[in-house]
């Protein structure tokens, strides 16, 4: 099984709020891989908007993005781009 991991940072002004979390969850749902977002001891299923919002990640928060599965590399490429581009908000 393939595993891809990357450190990402929240760059958009409002952080991982409802719209950004929804964008991330919809993108993660396109892949077969299990995608997890980790902040310290807390983990969130990237397909769950509620789980993502519960991380309380504001602007400047550094997170660990992990994809595990057959399409892990493709998932990582697309999802890390969302973080780099501020979820298209900036």
64 catalytic? Reply is no
Q: Residue 7: which domain range? A: 3-85
Give domain status of residue 24, yes or no.
yes
Confidence category of residue 87, pLDDT binned at 50, 70, 90: very high
User: pLDDT of 41-78, one tens digit each?
Assistant: 999 999 999 999 999 999 999 999 999 999 999 999 99
Considering the entire predicted model, what is its pTM? Answer: 0.95
Q: In sequence order, what E strands does 10-56 have? A: 34-39, 42-45
Give domain status of residue 54, yes or no.
yes
CATH code of residue 23: 3.30.1340.10
- Report how far apart, in Å, the C-alpha atoms of 28 and of each of 73, 76, 79 are: 12, 9, 7
The total number of structural domains in the chain stands at 1
User: pLDDT of 5-50, one tens digit each?
Assistant: 999 999 999 999 999 999 999 999 999 999 999 999 999 999 999 9
Give domain status of residue 15, yes or no.
yes
Instruction: Evaluate whether 46 touches 36 at the Cβ level (below 8 Å).
Output: yes
Give domain status of residue 90, yes or no.
no
Residue in the structure block whose two tokens are 């979390």? 21
Give domain status of residue 73, yes or no.
yes
Confidence category of residue 90, pLDDT binned at 50, 70, 90: low
Q: Which one from 6, 11, 14, 17 is the annotated catalytic residue?
A: 17
Is residue 47 helix, strand or coil? coil
């Amino acid at each position: 099984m393939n595993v891809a991991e990357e450190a990402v940072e929240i760059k958009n002004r409002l952080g991982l709020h409802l719209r950004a979390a929804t964008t991330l969850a919809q993108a993660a749902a396109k892949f077969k891989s299990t995608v997890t977002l980790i902040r310290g001891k807390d983990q969130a299923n990237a397909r769950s908007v509620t789980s993502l919002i519960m991380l309380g990640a504001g602007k400047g928060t550094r997170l660990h993005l992990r994809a595990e599965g057959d399409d892990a590399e493709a998932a990582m490429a697309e999802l890390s781009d969302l973080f780099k581009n501020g979820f298209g908000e900036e």
